[in-house]
Every structure is written in C-alpha cells, then in structure tokens.
Chains A and B, each alone.
Chain A
C-alpha cells in the first residue's frame, strides 16, 4: 500500500490563552507503526486532529506528499482518523447508530473493506442497530478499531483504541494490528495511555509533553538509552558521572536514580558497585514527562 509522507512543520495551536502545541515538527514516514504517547492534556488529540484536517491550526503547515492536507481530497482519501467515540454529543446523547458509522465509513473511505468489516463485526459481537450512547466503553473502542482496520487507509490513526477494552481484547487488538500491518504495510499511528502493553507493537515512539515533541525515535533505541542505577548513595553518584540524571529516590543511604546516556557511558557505569536495571517504555515515559509527580 503506497502511503505518502505526512509532515508537520512549525505547528502552533492555542485554545484561548493556553498554548497546546508549540512550534512542532513531525514527519510520519510510510510503512511504520508509530506510538504517540503523552500525558492528559499534552496535545495528542489536537495534534492528530490537525494532521488530519479535522482541527484548525494557528500557524505552521501540514503536508501529505508535499501538498497541504487541508481540503485536499487525495490526502483525505489516504488518511483515516478513527477517534474515541463519545456517548454524548453536543450536550445530548449520541443517538447515531453503529450502522450510521459503518455506512459513512463505506462512503468516504475509497479502500473500505466490507468483508473485513463484517468479519470484525461478527468477532466483536457488535450490533449495527445499537445507538452509540447504548454501547459500553469497550464496545465503543471496538467500533473505533473496526473502522480503522476496515478502512484500509494507507495512513491509519487510532486515538485511544484500547480504552475500555479488557486485557483479552487488548491482546486481540494488537494481534489484529500486527496481522494487518504484515499484510498491507500500512502506516499506523496509535495514541494510547496503556504504554507498556503496546510498546512491543510500536516501531517508533513519539512522546508529546506540554505541546512539544520530546522524543521521536525507534522504540528499542530509545529504551536502550535509559537505566535505573541503585546502590549506596556515594557510589551511585560516582557511577552517574557523564550520565543525565532524570530522577532520584533516596531511602536512608540507599539511592536509586533514573539515568540516560549513550551505550559507552552506561557500560562504564556497570564497573561500579551498583545495580543497573533496564527501564521499560512506561518507565522512560514517566522519567521524561513525570515532572516530579508521584515518582
């Protein structure tokens, strides 16, 4: 499946006095699975909305294959943004039915795969006659996932697809995602709070914090730069020489720090009398974006 390059340059967006995105640059290359992670209010949904021309920007540009995305039918045909469904809409219940969403998707997505949609409907045991406001949170997530997968859009974006799903369904979602990716080589961008489960699926991770991209790197490469170092306080401090200390936790004379550094410096730290343990993606995220909250 031939996807183009989706690129954002100098994106800025504010809501009244609050700056949500600040001078943001991002390039989404085809044929990869991206994870977009950030705290609540970091600007994830706003960013995704602007990338897909569903939200306006204050300044900057968003292009697809070099052409602006805004009002560009070719770009919009290639992009599917399947966002979290809401049980209420404009202060009233969302009385649209599942079938309305599916019919609308079939109308607008040129590559809509009806057979696949029907198979997923059956697997998820969803009724097309039910109103969105009558669905459970998990069922709403299933509709989001169904639309995204069956759209067969070259660039498919899912906003919080796993919210409300139980662990079995979340595993099934990741399985479906990987199967689809293996068959179609589509580009996926998945925004999620359930970081650790999804980490094994993400080829690249984009970390958004307070309207800025703090990291955009291959997942394994990023995780490889972070370690926990623990031991006696003075020994730990010496072992951290040349490393960036992100956070520290001390109990008596025992100290644990989260550090970042290149491979050489991390290997050098191993020579000290300290315990060094790897961090997972969730730990990395908390270290970068925790801002001292509940470490």
Chain B
C-alpha cells in the first residue's frame, strides 16, 4: 500500500498546495481591497472568502475524479495491487479531507482572530459551529462521489455524466439552502410549520444521508476497482 500511497501523493500534493495557495491569495486579496475593515465593500475576494467551504468541496470532487480515472489506470498499468490502490486512495481522501477541514476551521476563525468587522458576513463559514463533523463528512462524501463519477464515466459514459450532473445539482442546492438559512429567516419559518420536526432533524438526516452515501459509494468503488481493465 505504501507504494500506491507514494504514487497517488505525487499527484495529490500539488492539488492540495493549490487549495492552500488559493486561500492565501484570497486572504491577501481581502486585505488588499479593504474587505476586513469596510463592511460596504462586497467584492470578489469577500465572496470567495465567504464561499470557501463550497469551493473546497468542489475542488475535492474534481481531484477525486482524476484520482479514480487516469491515476488508477496508470497505477494498475505499473503493477499496483488493486486492494493496495483502494486503501491508498482511502488514505489520500482522508488526508485531504482532514487538511481541508483544518483549512476551513482556520478560515472560520481568522476573521475573529484578525479583528475583521461585521463577522455576520461569514455565516457560511461559521455554520459548522457546534457541528464540527459536518464539513469533514461532507468532504469525504464529495470525494467518494467524485471518485465514483470518474469510475462510472469510464464504464458507462451516460451514467457518469448523470452522476456528475446530480452531484453539481446537490452541491448547488446545498449551497442555496445554506445561504438562505444563514441570510434569511427561512429556517425559523420552516420550524414553525407542522413539518417543523422534519426540519429540526435536518442536520441528523443530512449526516445519515452523507454517511450512507459515503459507505455505499465506497463499496461501489471497491467493486469497480477490482474489475477495472487497464487501457
């Protein structure tokens, strides 16, 4: 497994470095355009900063897609054992999720630590307060989804495209819900309805769906990797 981990790491570290580098650029851009101090700015860097968790999820999805297509093909063509590759893939995905989680926690804490004004602008970053498991679980689920999309794209192009479309829709819907719930009184309204109990259990339901999706996706990935034909 060590060889497969080293093999995958050569492709992973530039991608993770790009995410960290992008975070540095966004923070620098915020300072350069006066975002921390002036609440009326509302520029691109402020938006990128506020939306960073979503961008990380999107990038992890794309990186996982590549891990399970060209990288899988290359690794197996050099004689990697399939189970070694699968477990190395898990290690890479867990490492990436943990690193991105640390980044997300840092970005959520940074405005407070650095004394930025109007911290309510960063509600999306702070939405995980009290539920720290949401972001790493979501990261893992999206990486599994990205990997699965790549593998299915190779086997059945139509199904792969469908899964990509569903993933993008889910990400956009989740983003919209998160923004609406943090920027408006939508959640209070929903909790006051007769289906309030359902909305109150949304975090637990989301966690359950993510966990089941991740586990189900992993089982599919295992099966597909075992039967993969090198080109």
Contact = CB atoms under 8 A, between A and B. Distances in A.
B230 A49 contact: yes
B231 interface: yes
A108 B79 contact: yes
A189 to B, nearest CB: 15
Interface in B60-108: 69-70, 73-84
Contacts of A73: 81, 84
A94 interface: yes
Nearest to B11: A100
A90 B68 CA distance: 12
Interface of B is mostly: helix
Contacts of A81: 77, 79
Interface string B157-177: 100000000000000000000
Interface of B: 3, 6-7, 10-11, 69-70, 73-84, 153-154, 157, 227, 229-231
Interface residues of A, number: 30
A81 B231 CA distance: 12
A54 B231 CA distance: 9
B153 A90 contact: yes
Tell which of A49, A56, A86, A90 has the most Cβ of chain B within 10 Å.
A90
Contacts of A96: 70, 74
Contacts of A109: 78-79
A177 B185 CA distance: 74
B67 to A, nearest CB: 13
20 contacts: A53-B79, A54-B76, A54-B77, A54-B230, A71-B81, A73-B84, A76-B80, A81-B79, A89-B70, A91-B157, A95-B70, A103-B10, A104-B74, A107-B3, A107-B7, A108-B7, A108-B75, A108-B78, A109-B78, A109-B79
Contacts of A100: 10-11, 74
Interface in A85-130: 86, 89-91, 94-96, 100-101, 103-105, 107-109
A96 B231 CA distance: 14
A141 interface: no
**7 closest A-B pairs (Cβ-Cβ)?**
A54-B230, A108-B78, A76-B79, A55-B229, A107-B7, A71-B81, A104-B78
A79 interface: yes
B80 A108 contact: yes
A101 B227 contact: no
A55 B76 CA distance: 10
Contacts of B70: 89-90, 94-96
Contacts of A80: 79
Nearest to B78: A108
Contacts of B79: 52-53, 76-77, 79-81, 108-109
A83 B7 CA distance: 19
A231 B83 CA distance: 63
Contacts of A53: 79
